[in-house]
Every structure is written in structure tokens, then in C-alpha cells.
Structure 1
Amino acid sequence: MSEKTDWNLLRALARRVLNDGEPLVLTENVCALLRRTGGQVALGETAVEQALSDVPHATSLLREISRRIADGSHRLTPALVNMYRLRDAGDIEGACRLMEEVLAVEVVPLYRDIASGELAKLEELKR
């Protein structure tokens, strides 16, 4: 995934709406943000468009996008730290297993790309 993410904007919107109770207003910019970020976290275009039909569904969409970003980050970050630790200790197989475990469950393309890239580097070290 090479496109730039809007996740900081999405997180700010989620904080205002989901945490602070600000009403979600489906402006052109908000809908465009939800469309872009929905695609960036592997939500289908049809599902995103249906969710944008009204505020309650769009709020659920915002919650799901936020969840996927947070869950993926919380899964990938410690896996990377542990993978580097294992790699540096010479346990390439163990490091590979960590990235494979992430790939087995991760749906967010950016996070999958990061894990796949690290796994490829580890596979090169095994040669």
C-alpha cells in the first residue's frame, strides 16, 4: 500500500465523536475521509457507501475503522519489537514465526505490507 493515510485526521474525528460526544456531521469532507480510510483498512466500497447513508451507520463505520487501525497497531508494534529482538539474538526462525502470526490475522493492508516486508528480509537472512 503506497497511498498516504489520513489516520491522524480519522483519529481526531473519532476522538471528537466517539469519546467526546460531538455529533457526526456527514459533510463532503467527512464522507470522503471515511471512504478513503475505510478502503485503507480493507472495508469494502459497498459496505462503506451503505454506512454513509445515515449518521448511526456512519458512526459505526467510524468506530470500525478506528478499531481496525488501533487493533492492527497494537498487534504489529510489539510483534516487530520482539521480531527484532529475536533476529538480533540469531533466532531467525522465531522472528519469522512472529511475522507469520501477524499475517495470519491482520486485515489492514499497510500493516500486512510492513509484516510481509520484514518477513521477506528475514527470509533473505536464512539464505
Structure 2
Amino acid sequence: MADRPDWDPFRALSLQVLRAGSPLVLTEDVRALLLRTAKEVAIRDAQAALATESGAMELLRESARRITDGSNRLTDALHVMWRLQREGDFDSARQQMRDVLAVEVVPYYRDLAQGQLDDMTDDP
């Protein structure tokens, strides 16, 4: 299983720029953070996106969206999966993780979903 990405610096930048309305200042550190995060959320051509201010903003938005959507999707599916396991419906519980894997692009979330699927037993 992949190590948990450290998205705290990215989240802080995202909150500052996307919610508080601060300008996105493309320092070397910010560029490196955006490139690293883009790689962690499976965004291609991130380097090209940093060539323009609008591209950098879109990269920030899309990275933030993938982190948030993937987290929400996985968390929701886990809660349903655990309920179904408690009810003894292991086929439906497995399907929750398969559904996540069918649409999830972030490698970390995919690894977590696959791990849940691999570890699931039919024992109550």
C-alpha cells in the first residue's frame, strides 16, 4: 500500500487561494508543490499547465477537486461497506469498493479501496 501523501501544504495553499481569494504566486516552492500534488493525484502535463497563470489555477482547482472528491467517495463507500458487512452482505460490501475502483483516479485512494477489497473476508 502506498504511503499516505502529505497534502497539508497543498490544502493550505488551496484554502488560501481558492477560498480566501489570495493570488496564486508561483514561487519555486509553490511550483514544486503543485507538480508533486499533480503527480500524486494522477494529473498529466502539470508542467505545461504551469506555463500560464490560468493553467496554474486550473491545476490547483483540479488537484483540489480530485483530493476532495476521492476522499468523499471512499469515505462514503467505506461506511456503506462496513454496514453491509455487519449485515452479512459481503458481495454488496465488495461491490462498494469495486464501484470506487471503477471511477477513482487518485492512486492513494485506489490503493486504499483495493486493500479493503483484498482484505475482505466472509466472516462476520
User: Per the shorter chain, which TM-score range?
Assistant: over 0.9
Partner of 1:117: 115
Partner of 1:67: 65
Runs of 4+ in 1 over 4 A off after TM superposition: none
Q: Is the 8 A contact 2:100 2:113 kept in 1?
A: yes
In structure 1, distance between residues paired with 2:17 and 2:3? 26
SS in 1 for 2:88: coil
Count of residues in Structure 1 that have an aligned counterpart in Structure 2: 123
Deviation at 1:2, TM superposition (A): 2.5
Change (3 A) 1:21 1:114: same
SS in 2 for 1:58: helix
**In structure 1, which of residues 70, 78, 81 is the aligned counterpart of residue 79 of structure 2?**
81
RMSD value, Cα: 1.4
> Does residue 41 of structure 2 align to residue 41 of structure 1?
yes
The residue type paired with residue 98 of structure 2 is: E
> Does residue 37 of structure 2 align to residue 11 of structure 1?
no
Partner of 2:95: 97
The sequence identity of aligned pairs, in percent, is 50
Deviation at 1:87, TM superposition (A): 1.1
When structure 1 is superposed on structure 2, of 2-11 and 29-38 the one drifting more is 2-11
Higher helix share: 1
Q: Is the 8 A contact 2:90 2:122 kept in 1?
A: yes
Higher RCO, Cα 8 Å, sep 6+: 2
Deviation at 1:8, TM superposition (A): 1.3
The residue type paired with residue 114 of structure 2 is: S
